[in-house]
Amino acid sequence: MEPIVNKVAESGLITLDLAPYLPDQITVFDLKPFLYMEMILKEKDYRAALQNHDWEQYSGKNVAVLCSADAIVPVWAYMLAATYLEPVAASVFFGTEEELTKKLLCERINAIALEEFTDKRVVIKGCGDVAIPDAAYLAVTAHLRPVVKSLMYGEPCSTVPIYKKR
Protein backbone atom coordinates (compact mmCIF):
# COMPACT_ATOMS: atom_id res chain seq x y z
CA MET A 1 0.00 0.00 0.00
CA GLU A 2 1.39 3.37 -1.02
CA PRO A 3 1.59 6.14 1.57
CA ILE A 4 -0.99 8.92 1.40
CA VAL A 5 0.60 12.08 0.06
CA ASN A 6 -0.77 15.49 0.93
CA LYS A 7 -0.32 17.24 -2.40
CA VAL A 8 -1.69 20.51 -1.02
CA ALA A 9 0.95 20.62 1.72
CA GLU A 10 3.70 19.85 -0.81
CA SER A 11 2.48 22.42 -3.32
CA GLY A 12 4.22 25.37 -1.69
CA LEU A 13 0.99 27.36 -1.59
CA ILE A 14 0.61 30.06 1.03
CA THR A 15 -2.95 30.52 2.25
CA LEU A 16 -3.85 34.00 3.41
CA ASP A 17 -6.93 34.28 5.61
CA LEU A 18 -8.25 37.84 5.79
CA ALA A 19 -10.34 37.26 8.95
CA PRO A 20 -7.49 38.08 11.36
CA TYR A 21 -7.19 41.51 9.71
CA LEU A 22 -10.77 42.43 10.62
CA PRO A 23 -10.76 45.26 13.15
CA ASP A 24 -12.28 44.80 16.55
CA GLN A 25 -13.37 47.39 19.06
CA ILE A 26 -15.66 49.26 16.68
CA THR A 27 -18.60 51.18 18.05
CA VAL A 28 -21.03 53.80 16.80
CA PHE A 29 -21.69 57.29 18.13
CA ASP A 30 -25.14 58.26 16.84
CA LEU A 31 -26.27 61.88 17.08
CA LYS A 32 -29.94 60.88 16.88
CA PRO A 33 -30.53 60.67 20.67
CA PHE A 34 -29.02 64.14 21.06
CA LEU A 35 -31.61 65.75 18.78
CA TYR A 36 -34.79 67.36 20.04
CA MET A 37 -37.60 64.94 19.16
CA GLU A 38 -34.88 63.05 17.23
CA MET A 39 -35.27 65.63 14.46
CA ILE A 40 -33.86 69.03 15.43
CA LEU A 41 -30.47 70.00 16.77
CA LYS A 42 -30.67 72.67 19.46
CA GLU A 43 -27.15 73.96 19.96
CA LYS A 44 -27.38 74.80 23.68
CA ASP A 45 -29.01 71.45 24.55
CA TYR A 46 -26.62 69.54 22.30
CA ARG A 47 -23.55 71.12 23.89
CA ALA A 48 -24.88 70.37 27.39
CA ALA A 49 -25.68 66.76 26.47
CA LEU A 50 -22.20 66.21 25.06
CA GLN A 51 -20.61 67.63 28.20
CA ASN A 52 -22.62 65.23 30.36
CA HIS A 53 -22.10 62.18 28.12
CA ASP A 54 -19.92 59.26 29.31
CA TRP A 55 -17.05 59.42 26.81
CA GLU A 56 -14.99 56.73 28.56
CA GLN A 57 -17.19 54.05 26.98
CA TYR A 58 -15.35 54.81 23.71
CA SER A 59 -11.89 54.42 25.24
CA GLY A 60 -9.55 52.59 22.87
CA LYS A 61 -12.29 51.90 20.36
CA ASN A 62 -12.66 52.86 16.71
CA VAL A 63 -15.74 55.05 16.57
CA ALA A 64 -18.04 55.56 13.59
CA VAL A 65 -19.90 58.86 13.95
CA LEU A 66 -23.25 59.24 12.20
CA CYS A 67 -26.82 60.42 12.56
CA SER A 68 -29.35 57.67 11.94
CA ALA A 69 -32.27 60.12 12.00
CA ASP A 70 -33.51 61.71 8.82
CA ALA A 71 -32.52 65.16 10.04
CA ILE A 72 -30.46 68.05 8.78
CA VAL A 73 -27.41 68.12 11.00
CA PRO A 74 -24.89 70.96 10.68
CA VAL A 75 -21.30 69.94 10.08
CA TRP A 76 -20.12 71.59 13.29
CA ALA A 77 -22.23 69.11 15.31
CA TYR A 78 -20.06 66.24 14.06
CA MET A 79 -16.95 68.33 14.65
CA LEU A 80 -18.00 69.00 18.24
CA ALA A 81 -18.58 65.29 18.88
CA ALA A 82 -15.11 64.58 17.47
CA THR A 83 -13.52 66.95 20.00
CA TYR A 84 -14.86 64.75 22.79
CA LEU A 85 -14.05 61.46 21.06
CA GLU A 86 -10.53 62.20 19.86
CA PRO A 87 -8.86 62.15 23.30
CA VAL A 88 -10.30 58.72 24.22
CA ALA A 89 -11.03 56.80 21.01
CA ALA A 90 -8.47 54.85 18.97
CA SER A 91 -9.89 56.51 15.85
CA VAL A 92 -12.83 58.69 14.85
CA PHE A 93 -14.54 58.21 11.48
CA PHE A 94 -17.57 59.79 9.80
CA GLY A 95 -19.78 57.04 8.46
CA THR A 96 -21.36 53.72 9.32
CA GLU A 97 -19.85 50.84 11.25
CA GLU A 98 -19.61 48.87 7.98
CA GLU A 99 -17.75 51.70 6.24
CA LEU A 100 -15.31 52.01 9.14
CA THR A 101 -14.76 48.25 9.16
CA LYS A 102 -13.92 48.32 5.44
CA LYS A 103 -11.58 51.29 5.87
CA LEU A 104 -9.64 49.76 8.77
CA LEU A 105 -9.53 46.33 7.14
CA CYS A 106 -8.10 47.74 3.91
CA GLU A 107 -5.54 49.78 5.88
CA ARG A 108 -4.42 46.61 7.67
CA ILE A 109 -4.21 44.69 4.41
CA ASN A 110 -2.13 47.45 2.83
CA ALA A 111 0.27 47.22 5.79
CA ILE A 112 0.99 43.51 5.19
CA ALA A 113 4.73 43.02 4.68
CA LEU A 114 5.31 41.83 1.14
CA GLU A 115 8.57 39.92 1.72
CA GLU A 116 6.74 36.78 2.87
CA PHE A 117 4.76 36.68 -0.40
CA THR A 118 7.44 37.66 -2.92
CA ASP A 119 7.56 35.12 -5.77
CA LYS A 120 5.19 32.79 -3.91
CA ARG A 121 1.98 31.07 -4.93
CA VAL A 122 -0.73 32.61 -2.74
CA VAL A 123 -4.31 31.53 -2.14
CA ILE A 124 -6.65 34.11 -0.61
CA LYS A 125 -8.99 32.12 1.61
CA GLY A 126 -12.51 32.39 0.29
CA CYS A 127 -14.66 30.65 2.88
CA GLY A 128 -14.83 31.11 6.60
CA ASP A 129 -16.96 31.67 9.63
CA VAL A 130 -16.69 35.45 9.38
CA ALA A 131 -17.98 37.53 6.47
CA ILE A 132 -15.23 39.50 4.79
CA PRO A 133 -16.22 42.66 2.88
CA ASP A 134 -15.63 42.45 -0.87
CA ALA A 135 -13.43 45.55 -0.65
CA ALA A 136 -10.86 43.49 1.26
CA TYR A 137 -10.41 41.07 -1.64
CA LEU A 138 -9.82 43.93 -4.03
CA ALA A 139 -7.32 45.52 -1.61
CA VAL A 140 -5.36 42.31 -1.06
CA THR A 141 -5.23 41.65 -4.81
CA ALA A 142 -3.90 45.12 -5.56
CA HIS A 143 -1.40 44.87 -2.69
CA LEU A 144 0.00 41.41 -3.47
CA ARG A 145 -0.19 41.27 -7.27
CA PRO A 146 3.07 43.18 -7.90
CA VAL A 147 5.14 40.65 -5.90
CA VAL A 148 3.48 37.21 -6.06
CA LYS A 149 4.22 34.43 -8.54
CA SER A 150 0.52 33.60 -8.66
CA LEU A 151 -2.63 34.62 -6.87
CA MET A 152 -5.67 32.42 -6.38
CA TYR A 153 -8.98 32.59 -4.57
CA GLY A 154 -10.69 29.82 -2.62
CA GLU A 155 -9.21 26.88 -0.74
CA PRO A 156 -5.95 25.08 -1.59
CA CYS A 157 -7.94 22.04 -2.80
CA SER A 158 -10.18 24.14 -5.07
CA THR A 159 -8.92 27.48 -6.29
CA VAL A 160 -9.90 30.05 -8.88
CA PRO A 161 -6.83 31.51 -10.63
CA ILE A 162 -6.68 35.29 -10.38
CA TYR A 163 -3.18 36.21 -11.54
CA LYS A 164 -0.07 34.47 -12.79
CA LYS A 165 3.25 36.19 -13.43
CA ARG A 166 4.47 35.68 -16.98
Return mean pLDDT, the chain: 92
What is the mean predicted confidence (pLDDT) over 68-87? 96
pLDDT at 4: 53
On the question of pLDDT at 59 being above 50, the answer is: yes
pLDDT band for 22, please (50, 70, 90 cuts).
very high
On the question of pLDDT at 77 being above 50, the answer is: yes
Backbone phi and psi for residue 74, each to the nearest 5 degrees, phi listed first:
-70, 150
User: DSSP character for 38?
Assistant: T
- Comparing 59-63, 70-74, 117-121, which segment has the lowest mean pLDDT? 70-74
On the question of pLDDT at 31 being above 70, the answer is: yes
Helix, strand, coil tally for the chain in percent (to 5): 40, 25, 40
pLDDT band for 11, please (50, 70, 90 cuts).
low
CA 128, 157, 139 angle in degrees (round to 5)?
A: 50
pLDDT band for 39, please (50, 70, 90 cuts).
confident
Q: pTM to 2 decimals? A: 0.84
pLDDT at 7: 47
Q: Where are the domains of the chain?
A: 7-23+101-164, 26-89
Rounded to whole angstroms, the Cα distance separating 53 from 48 reads: 9
